[in-house]
Amino acid sequence: MINALFPLARPLLHSLDPETAHNLTLRGLSALPPRGPGADDSRLAVEVLGRRFPNPVGLAAGFDKGAQVPDALLGLGFGFVEVGGVVPRPQPGNPRPRVFRLTRDSAVINRFGLNSEGLDVVRARLAARQGRPGRVGVNIGANKESTDRLADYVTCTRALAPLVDFITVNVSSPNTPGLRDLQGEAFLDELLARVVEARDATHPGTAILLKIAPDITLEALDAMAATALRRGVQALVVSNTTVARPASLRETALATETGGLSGRPLFAAATRLLAETYLRVGVRLPLIGVGGIDSPEAAWTKIRAGASLVQLYSSLVYAGPGLIPEIKRGLVARLKAENATSLASVVGRDAAALATMAA
Give the HSE-up count for residue 89: Cα atoms under 13 Å, Cβ half-sphere.
Answer: 9
Helices 2-15 and 18-30: crossing angle in degrees, nearest 10, is 150
Nearest-5° Cα angle at 138, 133 to 143 = 155
- Count, in order, helices (H) and strands (E) of the chain: 12, 13
Instruction: State yes or no: is 173 an active-site residue.
Output: yes
242 near 210, Cβ under 8 Å? no
In sequence order, the β-bridge partners of residue 169 are 140, 210
Amino acid identity of 42? S
Strands 51-53, 107-110: pairing is unpaired
Residue among 146, 173, 239, 262 flagged as catalytic: 173
- Cβ-based neighbour number of residue 51 at 10 Å: 13
Q: Identify the H or E element spanning 138.
A: strand 135-140
Q: Identify the H or E element spanning 167.
A: strand 166-170
Separation CA 94–CA 8 (nearest Å)? 31
Check residue 165 and report its DSSP letter: S
Active site amino acids? 173
